[in-house]
Amino acid sequence: MFKLLNFSCTFYHLFVIAMRALLLILCSWAMAGTAWPPLDTVYTVILERGTIYDGTGSAPFVADVGLIGDRIAAIGDLQAAQAALRLNVEGLAVAPGFIDIHSHAVRGGPETSGIFRQPLAENYIRQGVTTVFAGQDGSSPLPIGEFLARFELTPAAINLGLFVGHGSVRRAVMGNENRAPTAEELEQMKALVAQAMEEGAWGLSSGLKYVPGAYARTEEVIALARIAARYGGIYITHMRDEGLHVLESVRETIRIGREGGLPAQITHTKVIGPRMWGKSRALLHLVDEALAAGLDISMDQYPYTASSTGISVLFPAWALEGDREAQVARLQDPDTRRKIKEAVLFNLREDRGGGDPSRVQLAFCRWDTTLNGKNLAQVLEEQGRPVTVEEAAELVLEIQERGGCMGIFHAMSEEDVQRIMQHPRTMICSDGGIPDPGVGVPHPRNYGAFARVLARYVRERGLLSPEAAIHKMTGLPAWRLNLKDRGVLRPGAYADVVVLDLARVQDRATFTHPHQYAEGVVHVFVNGQAVLLHGQLTGARPGRALRKGRDG
């Protein structure tokens, strides 16, 4: 009798265990309204009755979201479940944490990178961004493995992934020389790219507008792209030209993707200069043709009609070869200075200058901070000089001689911005970093890019639906990178979650007063830990180093 009773109890316990296992499986499969909590489960966090935008672009639905540790454990009706923290988010949007596929949170080494200087990354968190990918425009730290290891020792509030920069690789092997690499130098560059990919880089970035990337022939980039392709990486490019020759640059990007054997992404997609306004139609036509021909090509974009980079972008690439001493020497030679000025004058008229000195704003001049925020026309006026494009070209040369400045260039069309944004292969990026609050007058995209899309282009203009815009910030970049278990809300995915008020979300940063945080984000969780709770930073820094091969 005792043996029979013992057998019955054992059978009963096995039955209970089996039923719990079945419930766990059903929970992992469940979607809205169909998730059953496992018996005796205590969730870390339950977000109650939120409107779920799952990152796929599907229509929203109302449900609870349960987090356990660093993962989403369930989505459905969790009203009867237990939780250490239960938050009523009724009427608010619950979405995957936003992914910034083009970030400058990393610039140079740890000492110069915002992600180490400002590890709470408040400008990103208050937009709902939980993951950034840096190493863009051909510039990345080397070796990447050492940088990511340093990040793991002193993490930020957000996750970080890196691309390997073609320009950094080229400079490490060849310096800042305007020539093709020797066969031996090309092999050294290939080895550096392979090392970076093995250490977790997500692909190869290029900055073919900038030196030394501008000195590379297409064949050189293809050779390095093939190395990234072996590891499943992508090619992401600041194209050689975004102005008068933008269509030729798109064709070059398509060629690199096709012959390199990997997906290609046009980063911060735009057309620059009044003569090119409207050419976004032709640009997108080339993208669609490439897609139809079988190339995996995509784009990202920040939602502004102004770009930002060093004022040296107005110079011809040949004038920037070598070190600073060599560059200054060229400016001090009368004949060479005249040739440089002609090129700068052309770029002010036809390219980033937009034909008007007032369109070029000085964002940060380390050697004279009184210039910060002023445009070239204002500086000329203050100096008692004629406000002409010709005089502005001379001023640009003088600025570069003294050390250069970061600039903001108002030379894009709103119609082109909107047309590019609506393309199904366009995702949202910031092209910004993590600035030191109050320093300089940087581009407002650092503080407002993601919030601006939701406020201006979703709520105010109806250009995108909320689910489409959120997909462009979450599921689409995750798909592009093959980033596992992020960018979507589903059981089993990492608990990167943002809760925001779509009726109130708003970018506050402007071109004159950029150091203003976005509003409307209520809660943010990164790997299951709250970094923003009830609109207040918690001080938590649960960000992780994301490596290709381990995380995607």
DSSP readout, 6-53?
A: HHHHHHHHHHHHHHHHHHHHHHHH--TT---PPTT-EEEEEEEEEEE-
CA distance 30 to 52: 14
Give the span between the Cα atoms of 73 and 169, in whole angstroms: 42
Q: Considering the entire predicted model, what is its pTM? A: 0.92
Contacts of 17 (CB under 8 A, 6+ apart): none
User: For residue 434, which amino acid is it?
Assistant: I
* 504 phi/psi in degrees, rounded to 5: -125, -15
Distance (Å, whole) CA 440 – CA 379: 16
Distance CA 480, CA 234 (A): 8
Q: How far apart are CA 435 and CA 432, in angstroms?
A: 8
Q: Give the DSSP H or E segment for 497.
A: strand 497-500
CA 500/CA 96 separation, integer angstroms: 11
Instruction: Look up the CATH number of domain 98-305+412-483+498-537.
Output: 3.20.20.140
The distance of Cα 361 from the centroid of its chain, to the nearest Å, equals 23
Residue ranges, comma separated, of all CATH 2.30.40.10 domains in the chain are 24-94
Tokens standing for residue 225: 């792209």
- The CATH 3.20.20.140 portion of the chain extends over 98-305+412-483+498-537
Whether the CB-CB separation of 465 and 456 falls below 8 Å is answered with: no
Per-residue pLDDT of the chain (552 residues; tens, 9 = 90+): 333 334 344 444 444 334 443 333 344 444 333 344 555 689 999 999 999 999 999 999 999 999 999 999 999 999 999 999 999 999 999 999 999 999 999 987 777 889 999 999 999 999 999 999 999 999 999 999 999 999 999 999 999 999 999 999 999 999 999 999 999 999 999 999 999 999 999 999 999 999 999 999 999 999 999 999 999 999 999 999 999 999 999 999 999 999 999 999 999 999 999 999 999 999 999 999 999 999 999 999 999 999 999 999 999 999 999 999 999 999 999 999 999 999 999 999 999 999 999 999 999 999 999 999 999 999 999 999 999 999 999 999 999 999 999 999 999 999 999 999 999 999 999 999 999 999 999 999 999 999 999 999 999 999 999 999 999 999 999 999 999 899 999 999 999 999 999 999 999 999 999 999 999 999 999 999 999 999 999 999 999 999 999 987
Distances from the Cα of 490 to the Cαs of 39, 41, 94, 495, in angstroms? 20, 18, 12, 9
Residue 185's identity, in one-letter code, is E
* 139 contacts 196 by C-beta, under 8 angstroms: no
Measure the CA–CA gap between 268 and 249, rounded to whole angstroms.
13
What are the φ/ψ torsions at residue 375 (nearest 5 degrees)? -95, 170
CATH class of 24-94: mainly beta
**Residue 39 pLDDT:** 52
Angstrom distance (rounded) from CA 445 to CA 411: 16
Contacts for 85 with CB less than 8 Å, ≥ 6 apart: 44, 45, 46, 530
Q: How far apart are CA 417 and CA 435, in angstroms?
A: 24
Phi, psi of 434 (to 5 degrees): -120, 90
**What CA–CA distance (Å, rounded) separates 252 from 255?**
5
Burial (CB < 10 A; 0-12, 13-18, 19+), residue 478, is buried
Query: Which residue do the tokens 């046009």 mark?
Result: 266
CA 166, 440, 346, 279 torsion: positive or negative?
Answer: positive
CA distance 152 to 72: 23
